[in-house]
Amino acid sequence: MKIKVLIIDDELMICKSLEAGLSDMGYDVTTAQNSQSALKAVTSCKPQIVLTDMRLGTENGIDLIDDIKKIDADIEVIVMTAYSDIASAVLAIKKGAFDYINKPFELEEIKLILERAYQNYKMKNKLLILEKQNQFFIENMIGQSDKMKDVFNKINILSENDNVTVLIRGETGTGKELVADAIHNKSIRKDSPILKINCSTIPAQLVESELFGFERNAFTGADSRKKGLLEIANGGTVFLDELGEIPLEMQAKLLRFLEERKFRRIGGLEDIEVDIRIIAATNKNLEQAVKEKTFREDLYYRLNVIPVEVPPLRERGKDILLIADYFLEKFNRSFKKSIQGFDMDAKTKLMSYSWPGNIRELKNMIERIVILHNDAWISVQNLPVEIQNFKGDQRNTESIQESHHIEDEHFSLDEKMDGIEKEYLLEALEKSGWNQTRAAAMLGISRFSLKRKMEKFLLS
C-alpha cells in the first residue's frame, strides 16, 4: 500500500520536482497550486500526509491547516517555508501541523520527515482502533448494544457528579454491582472504599443498628458503643444492594439521611455528619411497591433522579456472544484448557435463549462446560438441556445470520469479500488480545500476511 502525499505549492516547478522525486521513492503523489484545488484533492485523494508551502501566492498556507483538519483531522501536515520564521512555525504547530522544513532542502530531508509523519499517522490510527475496541468495556462490563451504551454513558455522567444519589435497577444477575463499582472507581472517591451492604440479608430488626450504629446501653445487650456502616464508610461510597427489602419504618430514616447527610446512632443525642455517596440497587418494581404502600413514595422520588436501567441479557443482542467469549477465555486460562470458541449452531442457541439468570447463569454455564469438556469447539450438544430444547424468541439470531444476496446492479463482490475478511480479521485480533502471532495462527495465515491485511483494512 503506497503512502498518499499531497504537495501544495504555488510554484509549478517545485510541485513537479517533488512529485517526481517522491514518486521514485514509492509515494503516491498528488499536487495542487492553490488552496481551492488543494481542498478538493484532500477530499478526493484522501492523503495521509500534506506537504504545503507557507506562502501560496497571496494566500497563507498556515490558514489552510484548519480547513484540511476539518476534512480529516488525522492528516499529518508538514509546512515548507523559505522564511526561517520561528513564530510562523510555532503557529503552524499550534494549528495542528506535524512539523516544518526550511527551503531549500534535500530530497533525503523530505524523505525522513515524511517517514516520521507517517509513523505518527499510523500510531494515531492504531490508538483509534484500540479506542474503538475498548470503548464498550468499563470495569468488567462488556457490551456494544444500544442499551449498554446508555448504561456506560450514565456511568460516565454519574461518576463526574458526586453529589447525585444513584439508583440502579435490573433483574437478578444483570451486573448491578459492577455498575456501582464502575461509578465509584471512576469518581473522585476512587481512593476511598466502597462498602457493600445487601439489605435482604440483614434481619429487619437489625437494619437500623447495622446502618447507623448504637450507643452504649441503648438497649439490652449494648455493652459498648458501635459505629454503623454509614459512619465506617465516611469519605467513600455505600452500595445498598436490594434496597427494596428495607423495612418501611427504616425508609423514613434513610430518606432523612439522604436529605441531610446526618444521622443519630440508636440511643444517641447528637447528629453525626458523614461525607459518603449512596448507590442503591434493586430488582424490585418500585412503582408497584409504592402503589402497594410497601415503599415510600418520597424515598422513591429522592432516589430516582437519574436511574440506571441494566438490561436483561436476553435484550442485549450480540453482547451475549461477546460475554460468552470473555468467560470462555477466562476459564480457559483458569483450567488450562484451549477451547477455541462456539460453533455457529451453538451461537444461535445462545442468542435465542431467554437467560432468566442473566450474566450469572451464562458465566456458570461456561465454567461448567470448560471443566467437563475438551473439544476444540463448543457445540449444541455441550450446552445444557434447557438451552438445547428452548423454543423461545428467535429475534436475536438474526444479528448473527448474515444476509448475502445481490441487491442491484451496483453489487461489488470485491467490497463484500473485503468486508467479510475485515470482520474475521478484527475478531481474531480481539480474541487474541491483539497478539499478532496468535491472531495469525487463528486465521491460518502467516504473521507477515496478517500485517499486510492490517495495513489494508485498519490503517488505510
d(CA 316, CA 147): 7
Q: How far apart are the first and last CA of the chain?
A: 8
Q: What are the tens digits of pLDDT across the range 120-132?
A: 887 766 555 444 4
For residue 77, give the nearest of 40, 123, 114, 34 by alpha carbon: 114
Q: For cell 498556507, what's the residue?
A: 61
- State the residue for C-alpha cell 498556515: 62
Arithmetic mean of pLDDT, 49-65: 83
What number of residues does the chain have? 460
At 10-48, the pLDDT tens digits run 889 889 999 999 999 999 999 999 888 999 999 888 899
Between the alpha carbon of residue 351 and those of residues 161, 201, 355, the distances in Å are: 36, 34, 9
Contact 313, 320 (CB under 8 A): yes
The answer to whether residue 192 scores a pLDDT higher than 80 is yes
Model confidence band, residue 410 (pLDDT cutoffs 50, 70, 90): low
Q: Is the pLDDT of residue 236 over 50?
A: yes
CA dist 230 and 263 (Å) reads 9
Q: What 8-state DSSP symbol labels residue 11?
A: -
Compute the average pLDDT of residues 375-379: 90
pLDDT at 408: 52
Instruction: Give pLDDT, residue 392.
Output: 64
Residue 92 parent element (H or E): helix 86-94
C-alpha cell at 149: 451504551
Condensed to tens digits (0 to 9), the pLDDT of residues 429-438 reads: 777 767 777 7
Q: Is the pLDDT of residue 69 over 80?
A: yes
Distance CA 180, CA 197 (A): 12
Closest CA to 175 of 134, 138, 144: 138
In one-letter notation, the amino acid at residue 8 is I
Say if residues 28 and 3 touch (Cβ distance below 8 Å): yes
Residue 404 confidence class, pLDDT cut points 50, 70, 90: very low
pLDDT, average across residues 179-206: 90
Domains of the chain: 4-133 (3.40.50.2300), 143-311 (3.40.50.300), 316-401 (1.10.8.60), 405-460 (1.10.10.60)
Query: Average pLDDT over the chain, rounded to whole?
Result: 85
Query: What is 255-305 written as a DSSP string?
Result: HHHHHHSEE--BT--S-EE---EEEEEE-S-HHHHHHTTSS-HHHHHHH-S
In DSSP terms, which residues pair with 50 in a beta bridge? Answer: 6, 77
